[in-house]
Structure 1
Amino acid sequence: MKILDRYILNQYIKTFLSVFIVLMFILILQAIWLYIKELAGKDLDVATIIKFLYYSTPVAVPIALPLSVLLAAILVFGSMAENYEFAAMKSNGISLQRAMRSLTIVILGIGITSFLFANSVIPWGHLKQRNLRGNIAKIKPAMAISEGSFNQLGSYNIKVADKSGENGEFLTDVIIHKKNARKNGNYTVIKSKRGELKSSLKSNVIQLVLEEGNYYEDLNLVQPRKNSSSPFVKSSFDSYTLNIDVSQLNKVDINDESVTDNHRMLKINELYNRIDTFSLALTNNYKIYRTNQHNTWSPTTLDRRIELDTIKENPIDLLASLNTADQRRAVDVAISKMRSQIAAIKNRESQIKREETRLAKHEIEIHKKYVLGVACIILFFIGAPLGAIIRKGGMGLPLVIATLFFLTYHFIGIFAEKAATEGAFPAWLGAWMSTFIIFPMGMYLTYRATTDQGIFNNDFSLVKLFSKFKKHPKTPSPIA
Structure 2
Amino acid sequence: MKKLDKLILGSFLGPFLLTFIVVDFILLTVNMLKYFDEIFGKGLDFWIYMELIGYFVISISPMALPLAVLLSSLMTFGNLGEHFELTAIKSSGISLLRALRPIGVFVIVLSFAAYLSNNYLVPKVNLKTFSLLYDIRMKSPALDIKAGVFYDGIPGYSIKVNEKVGEYGLKDILIYSHAGNGTGNLDVTLADSGRMEPFFSENYMKLSLFHGINYHEDRQARGIAEKPNDFNRTSFDANVIVFDLNNTFKLNRTAEDAWSTNRSIKNISEIKLGLDSIGSLVNEQLYQNYQNSESIYPFFTRDRKFIPAADILERKALDDSIRTQRMKRDRDQLDSLYLIESLAEIDTSSVLIDKPESRTLSTTNDSVISNIKSVTASSKISRSDSLFLSPKSKEKAQTKLAERDTNSSLVPIKVVKVPRTAALTDIEKAQIDSMVTKRGYNQNAITMALNNSRSLQNNFNTKMTQIDNYQRDYRRFQIAWYQKYTQAFACFAMFLIGAPLGAIIKKGGLGMPVLISIIFFIVYYMLTITGEKWAKEGITDPLFGTWFSNLCLLPFGLFFVKQARKDARLFEGDFYVSIWKSIQKRFKVLRSKAH
Question: Shared fold by TM > 0.5?
Answer: yes
Counterpart in the other structure of 1:353: 468
- Inter-CA distance 205–375: structure 2 relative to 1 (3 Å threshold): same
Q: Does 1:135 align with 2:135?
A: yes
**Is 2:43–2:142's contact at 8 Å kept on the other side of the alignment?**
no
Amino acid at match of 1:17: L
In the other structure, the counterpart of 1:257 is 256
SS at match of 2:79: helix
Partner of 2:389: none
Provide the residue aligned with 1:362 in structure 2: 477
- The equivalent residue for 2:67 is 67
CA–CA separation in structure 2 for the residues paired with 1:94 and 1:11: 18
CA distance in 1, matches of 2:487, 2:61: 10
Q: Where in structure 2 are the equivalents of 1:9-20 lying within 5 Å?
A: 9-20=9-20
Whether 2:506 is the aligned partner of 1:391: answer yes
What count of residue pairs does the alignment treat as equivalent? Answer: 398
Unaligned runs of 5+ in 1: 145-150, 159-164, 167-176, 181-187, 193-197, 208-214, 220-228, 238-242, 302-308, 463-480
Are residue 437 (structure 1) and residue 552 (structure 2) matched?
yes
Q: Are residues 1:82 and 2:82 paired? A: yes
Q: Highest CA radius of gyration, 1 or 2?
A: 2
Q: Secondary structure at the match of 1:118?
A: helix
Aligned partners of 2:63 and 2:487 also within 8 Å = no
Residues 255 and 245 (structure 1 numbering): CA distance in 2 closer, same or farther, change over 3 Å? closer
**Which amino acid in the other structure matches residue 48 of structure 1?**
I
- Per the alignment, do residues 458 and 5 of structure 1 end up closer, same or farther by CA in structure 2, a change over 3 Å counting? farther
CA distance in 1, matches of 2:513, 2:556: 17
User: Is residue 189–residue 217 contact of structure 1 (8 Å, CA) maintained in 2?
Assistant: no
Q: 2:491 is paired with a residue of what secondary structure?
A: helix
Residue 409 of structure 1 corresponds to which residue in structure 2?
Answer: 524
Letter matched to residue 418 of structure 1? K
Q: Equivalents in 2 of 1:70, 1:36: separation in Å?
A: 30
Q: Distance in 2 between matches of 1:33 and 1:344?
A: 45
Q: Quick one: distance in 2 between partners of 1:121 and 1:32?
A: 21
Amino acid at match of 2:74: I
Name the aligned partner's letter for residue 434 of structure 1: S
- 1:289 CA displacement: 2.7
Q: Give the deviation of 1:361 after TM superposition.
A: 1.2
Partner of 1:452: 567
Aligned to 1:478: none
* Equivalent residue runs for 1:276-425 within 5 Å: 276-296=276-296, 338=454, 344-425=459-540
Contact kept in structure 2, 1:371 and 1:431, CA below 8 Å: yes
Q: CA deviation at 1:290?
A: 3.4
Name the CA shift for 1:203/1:34 in 2 (closer, same or farther; >3 Å): farther
Supply the distance in 2 between the matched residues of 1:362 and 1:436 (Cα, whole angstroms): 21
Give 2:116's aligned residue: 116
Task: Give 1:253's aligned amino acid.
Answer: N
Residue among 531, 541, 544 paired with 1:426: 541
Please state how far the C-alpha of 1:27 moved relative to its aligned partner.
2.0
Give matches, 1:109-258, under 5 Å. 109-140=109-140, 247-250=246-249, 252-254=251-253, 256-258=255-257
Offset of residue 381 of structure 1:
0.8
Residue 347 of structure 1, CA deviation: 3.7
For structure 2, the residue ranges without an aligned partner over 5 or more in a row are 145-151, 164-177, 187-193, 208-217, 232-241, 302-432, 578-595
Change in CA separation of 1:96 and 1:44 when aligned onto 2, cut-off 3 Å? same
1:403–1:250 CA distance, 2 compared to 1 (3 A): same
Q: Give the match's secondary structure for 2:508.
A: coil
The letter for the 1-side match of 2:48 is T
Distance 1:311 1:461, change over 3 A: farther
2:41 is the counterpart of 1:41: yes
Deviations 1:90-147, CA, capped at 9 Å, x for gaps: 2211211111111111111111111111111111111110010111122227989xxx
State the secondary structure of the residue aligned to 2:60.
Answer: helix
1:423 Cα deviation (Å)? 1.0
Whether contact under 8 Å (1:139, 1:252) holds in the other structure is yes
Q: How many Å separate the matches in 1 of 2:559 and 2:460? A: 51
Q: Say which SS state the counterpart of residue 460 (structure 1) adopts.
A: helix
CA–CA distance in structure 2, aligned partners of residues 382 and 153 of structure 1: 57
Structure-2 change in CA distance of 1:345 and 1:451 (3 Å): same
Alignment-derived partner of residue 147 in structure 2: none
State whether residues 115 and 373 of structure 1, in contact with CA within 8 Å, keep that contact through their aligned partners in structure 2: yes
Label 1:77 to 1:278 Cα distance change in 2 as closer, same or farther (>3 A). Answer: same
- Between 373-382 and 133-142, report the one with greater CA deviation: 133-142
Could you say which residue in structure 2 is the equivalent of 1:273?
Answer: 273
Q: Give the Cα–Cα distance (whole angstroms) in 1 for the partners of residues 460 and 558 of structure 2.
A: 50
Amino acid at match of 2:492: I
* Contact 2:143/2:153 (8 A) holds in 1: no
| Structure 1 position 413, deviation (Å) | 0.7
Confirm or deny: 8 A CA contact 1:385 1:449 kept in the other structure: yes
Q: Which amino acid aligns with 1:99?
A: A
Write the letter of the residue equivalent to 1:396.
G
